[in-house]
């Protein structure tokens, strides 16, 4: 899975792969072995290249407030699919597609619902992480092509907005 992380005034290009029960995380070309475990709501322990960290994560709108000791940072994420949808013309129907292979864990809208640009419409789980797929434009949901629990490939059409 490829994402960009915006932290402060820096943008990091990140590639995450699951391997042998751990994650291989490439940050701007630097490879790291990571094991992350949720301790309780909002608290995680992370083993990064054999060093242990405890962090708290709190969602703030479209970003996350991350704390480790006295260090704090507001982090937001974007993906190539989201950027492409944001550039897409508002004219005509929008086919919302999965930006990764995974499993549909939650439908956030129903056929006929009106949605706003950037509104979450479906949650797809990949590599034990839930990823909210958002609408690139506002409009009415005219078709939903998946069901909860269904496995989807990267690029699979999830729903249509007109």
Find residue 17's DSSP bridge partners.
24
Is 20 in the same domain as 72? Answer: yes
Q: Tell me: do 96 and 153 sit in the same domain.
A: yes
CATH of the domain at 153: 2.40.50.100
pLDDT one-digit tens code per residue, 65-102 = 999 988 889 988 887 555 555 545 456 788 888 878 89
Q: Are residues 50 and 87 in the same domain?
A: no
CATH number at residue 24: 3.30.700.30
Q: Is there a single domain that holds both residue 98 and residue 155? A: yes
Which range of residues forms the domain containing residue 108? 80-161
pLDDT of residue 46: 92
- For residue 32, what are its two tokens? 């790291």
The pTM score is 0.48
The pLDDT tens digits of the residues spanning 18-52 come to: 888 789 999 988 999 999 889 988 999 999 988 99
Length of the chain: 162
**Token duo for residue 95:** 């086919």
Query: What pLDDT, on the 0 to 100 scale, is given for residue 80?
Result: 53
pLDDT score for 82 = 56
Indicate the pLDDT class of residue 128, thresholds 50, 70 and 90: confident
- Among the residue ranges 83-92, 130-139, 145-154, the one predicted with the least confidence is 83-92
**pLDDT exceeds 70 at position 153:** yes
In this prediction, residue 89 carries a pLDDT of 47
Strands of the sheet with 129-134, listed across from one edge:
129-134, 120-126, 102-107, 151-152
Q: How far is CA 51 from CA 24, 30, 69, in A?
A: 15, 16, 15
Which of 11, 43, 78 is the C-terminal boundary of a domain? 78
Q: Up-side HSE of residue 21: CA atoms within 13 Å toward CB?
A: 2
> Mean of the per-residue pLDDT values for the chain?
86
Would you place residue 58 in the very low, low, confident or very high pLDDT band (cuts 50, 70, 90)? Answer: very high
Q: Are residues 72 and 93 in the same domain?
A: no
Work out the number of other CB atoms within 10 angstroms of the CB of residue 134: 20
Are 93 and 115 spatial neighbours (Cβ–Cβ below 8 Å)? no
Number of neighbours of residue 41 by Cβ within 10 angstroms: 8
Q: How many structural domains are present in the chain?
A: 2
């Amino acid at each position: 899975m490829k994402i960009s992380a915006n932290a402060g005034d820096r943008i990091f290009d990140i590639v995450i792969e699951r391997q042998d029960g751990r994650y291989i995380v490439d940050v701007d070309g630097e490879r790291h072995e990571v094991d992350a475990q949720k301790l309780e709501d909002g608290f995680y322990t992370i083993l990064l290249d054999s060093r242990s960290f405890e962090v708290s994560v709190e969602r703030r709108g479209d970003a996350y407030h991350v704390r480790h000791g006295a260090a704090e940072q507001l982090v937001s994420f974007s993906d190539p699919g989201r950027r492409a949808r944001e550039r897409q013309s508002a004219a005509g129907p929008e086919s919302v597609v999965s930006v990764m292979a995974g499993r549909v864990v939650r439908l956030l809208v129903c056929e006929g619902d009106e949605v706003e640009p950037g509104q979450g419409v479906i949650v797809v789980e990949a590599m034990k992480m839930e990823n909210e797929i958002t609408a690139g434009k506002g409009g009415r949901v005219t078709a939903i092509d998946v069901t909860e629990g269904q496995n989807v490939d990267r690029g699979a059409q999830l729903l249509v907005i007109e």
